[in-house]
Amino acid sequence: MTSPEAGTRGISGQTLATGRTGAKRAGAAGGTLGTAARLRVAIPSVADRVATELRLQLAEGLLLPGARLTESTISEELGVSRNTVREAFAELAAERLVVRHPNRGVFVASLGPGDIHDVYTVRRFIEVSAIRGGGSPERVAAVRAAVEEGRAAAAVDDEEALGSANQHFHGAIVALAESRRLNTIMAQVLAEMRLFFHKATVDAHFYRSYLDDNEEICKALEAGELDRAGELLLAYLDRSEEKQSTVHGD
Amino acid sequence: MTSPEAGTRGISGQTLATGRTGAKRAGAAGGTLGTAARLRVAIPSVADRVATELRLQLAEGLLLPGARLTESTISEELGVSRNTVREAFAELAAERLVVRHPNRGVFVASLGPGDIHDVYTVRRFIEVSAIRGGGSPERVAAVRAAVEEGRAAAAVDDEEALGSANQHFHGAIVALAESRRLNTIMAQVLAEMRLFFHKATVDAHFYRSYLDDNEEICKALEAGELDRAGELLLAYLDRSEEKQSTVHGD
DNA sequence: ATCGAAGGATTGTTGAACAATCCGTAGATT
DNA sequence: AATCTACGGATTGTTCAACAATCCTTCGAT
């Protein structure tokens, strides 16, 4: 409470606080905006930004599964009130990224063996259905782009980028369906997966192997051989699940 | 605003407040619970209970799409603080049941034509995949039970129960997959659908017609003709979407 | 070594406060 | 009349301070 900038975990250093607090700033209501159309892009609330910040830290592996998130700590580090942090927690909990243990605190979600299988079940359902439905040329091109992105990452031996590219690939497959809800669901599932990716990185060997898988799946998609693409994808998911299960879980 | 029990919307009348407020109750820390195993079922927080209450009112059609949810009103009606209501809102917003308009308030979500299509897209992906994967005899029995539930409702001309039974039927289909996440996703999607069911009830004629559809789908499932069950289900979903689109939508 | 009480830390929840923003309305302008 | 605009009330967004309940750790007693 003495010096605000003393963050112990790796926060940007800057505070997230707005200028709307309880007793600062002399009022100076200025320009009217005229009768223009309603603002289309609203600035997100502080709670949303806290949630986003945490989501980022989760994705980056700065916050590992099982880690405890103390309200007061985050509140101080980000320069926001505890209540606001709580609102952000409610968001993240709804996304399964954190877990609430009543009266004990919130913790970064950690996936057990059952969860890994569950996540892959969701992916099998959604991704395979999506690819079998095909998509517009633009969407297919996006899948192709993700394949190339992976290649490029492999060329410079960037593990991190390789993982991202793979996620983009699978995200692009779901995006074929042009469904806002499915995209959201997939984004959440991928976020969950990133969580345990950071616990133990799968060996580079395996990462390379699915570059070829992706290429083949993409080729089938481009050729309009949707059923075959679906089967290839399904086989990949099964293999991937097995790999992840043996690396993590018991 | 004068008398607390004067709820204008149909709340239960009872308050949701706990006994943990700011300045009541003389401390009397009593019995120790021994070194028993950690409590397995924790009582949900007030925020969760507010969210549940609102979810219920949403499902019952007490709160129609587009309706505004004022923080202070709900806060008073339920006897909880505004901050707690806000936490509940964060939960519901993450579930898409309400929408936040920054600085304007939260409103009951209302699905436009695009949303209806989107919801059905999700259902087609998940339900069809689920039924094509089959399930344990118990799970199949649950599907059968939902069919009979619908029949019973039709026998006594209970529209409301008929709708519920149909939702149970489709929920049971997804449950075949034994996936916690898919069940949650499906539950959320069904909750979204309940939202606009209350806007305009589809004619009873149509409701009856899908009793037979369900029966046929269930029979195919029981017979292990999974592909056929999938096709029947898909056809049903397409028809249902078209029906809903013409009734609602533009 | 085990048990249980004492203490400190943290969560859960409240109430009050206030800036910013929105919205309806009434008065001023063209 | 049709606006534009300034004013004011209502509501949201956010903070702060307070405190009961609960959890966790430590420490002393049996």
Task: Round and report the angstrom distance from CA (A68) to C1' (D23).
Answer: 14
Kindly determine whether residue A102 and residue B42, on different chains, have CB atoms separated by under 8 Å: yes
Best interface-test mutation with B: which of A122, A237, A238 has the largest number of B CBs within 10 A? A122
How many angstroms separate the CA atoms of A86 and B91, rounded?
11
Q: What is the mean pLDDT of residues B202-229?
A: 90
* B134 min Cα distance to partner chain A (Å): 13
Closest partner CB to A121 (pick from B44, B102, B177): B177
Q: What is the mean pLDDT of residues A215-225?
A: 97
Best interface-test mutation with A: which of B49, B121, B192 has the largest number of A CBs within 10 A? B121
Task: Round and report the angstrom distance from CA (A93) to C1' (D29).
Answer: 43
Q: What is the mean pLDDT of residues B168-193?
A: 98
As a whole-number percent, the residues of chain A with pLDDT over 70 amount to 82
Say yes or no to pLDDT of A249 above 90.
no
Q: Is the CB of A71 under 7 A from strand C?
A: yes
Say yes or no to pLDDT of A31 above 50.
no
Task: Quote the tokens at residue B124.
Answer: 């087609």
- B237 interface with A at CB cutoff 8 Å: no
Q: What is the mean pLDDT of residues B2-14?
A: 34
pLDDT of res. A41: 83
Closest partner CB to A122 (pick from B88, B124, B179): B179
Give chain C positions with protein CB within 7 A: 3-5, 10-23
Contacts with A189 from chain B: Cβ below 8 Å: 181
- The 10s digit of each residue's pLDDT in A164-212 is 999 999 999 999 999 999 999 999 999 999 998 887 776 667 778 889 9
Nearest-5° Cα angle at A186, A101 to B107: 70
Lookup: nucleotide whose C1' is closest to A81 CA:
D15
Give chain D positions with protein CB within 7 A: 4-6, 11-24
pLDDT of res. B15: 55
Task: Round and report the angstrom distance from CA (A38) to C1' (D3).
Answer: 19
Task: Round and report the angstrom distance from CA (A106) to C1' (C4).
Answer: 29
Among protein residues, the one whose C-alpha sits closest to the C1' atom of D17 is B22
Say yes or no to pLDDT of B122 above 60.
yes
pLDDT of res. A36: 46
Determine how many CB atoms are found less than 10 A away from the CB of residue B103: 9
Closest partner CB to A121 (pick from B86, B103, B182): B182
Say yes or no to pLDDT of B25 above 80.
no
Could you tell me the pLDDT band of residue B179, with boundaries at 50, 70 and 90?
very high
Could you tell me the pLDDT band of residue B246, with boundaries at 50, 70 and 90?
confident
- B38 interface with A at CB cutoff 8 Å: no
Contacts with B103 from chain A: Cβ below 8 Å: 42
Say yes or no to pLDDT of A90 above 90.
yes
Give the residue, B167 or A22, on which the prediction is more confident.
B167
- B128 interface with A at CB cutoff 8 Å: yes
Task: Round and report the angstrom distance from CA (A77) to C1' (C11).
Answer: 18
Say yes or no to pLDDT of B30 above 70.
no
Say yes or no to pLDDT of B87 above 90.
yes
8 Å CB contact between A182 and B122: yes
pLDDT of res. B38: 64
Could you tell me the pLDDT band of residue A246, with boundaries at 50, 70 and 90?
confident
Mean pLDDT taken over chain A: 85
Q: What is the mean pLDDT of residues A18-25?
A: 43
Closest partner CB to A87 (pick from B86, B177, B189): B86
Task: Round and report the angstrom distance from CA (B105) to C1' (D21).
Answer: 32
Q: What is the mean pLDDT of residues A107-119?
A: 95
pLDDT of res. B22: 43
Say yes or no to pLDDT of B230 above 50.
yes
Kindly determine whether residue B125 and residue A121, on different chains, have CB atoms separated by under 8 Å: no
* A1-5, B24-28, B64-68: range with highest mean pLDDT: B64-68
Kindly determine whether residue A118 and residue B185, on different chains, have CB atoms separated by under 8 Å: no
**Nearest chain A Cα to B87, which residue?**
A87
- Look up the ipTM and state it: 0.86
Among candidates B126, B127, B111, which has minimal Cα distance to B247?
B111
Contacts with A121 from chain B: Cβ below 8 Å: 177, 179, 181-182
Say yes or no to pLDDT of A149 above 80.
yes
pLDDT of res. B249: 66
Q: Is the CB of B9 under 7 A from strand D?
A: no
How many angstroms separate the CA atoms of A169 and B213, rounded?
38
pLDDT of res. A202: 66
Give the residue, A148 or B199, on which the prediction is more confident.
A148
- B247 interface with A at CB cutoff 8 Å: no
Q: Would you call A68 helix, strand, or coil by DSSP?
A: strand
- The 10s digit of each residue's pLDDT in B181-197 is 999 999 999 999 999 88
Give the residue, A18 or A72, on which the prediction is more confident.
A72
Mean pLDDT taken over chain B: 85
Q: Is the CB of B39 under 7 A from strand D?
A: yes
Determine how many CB atoms are found less than 10 A away from the CB of residue B142: 18
8 Å CB contact between A4 and A79: yes
Task: Round and report the angstrom distance from CA (B180) to C1' (C15).
Answer: 39
pLDDT of res. B202: 65
Helix or strand holding residue A106 (H, E): strand A105-108
- A146 interface with B at CB cutoff 8 Å: no
Could you tell me the pLDDT band of residue A37, with boundaries at 50, 70 and 90?
low
pLDDT of res. A10: 30
- A189 interface with B at CB cutoff 8 Å: yes
Burial of B19 by CB count in 10 Å (0-12 exposed, 13-18 middle, 19+ buried)? exposed
pLDDT of res. A159: 85
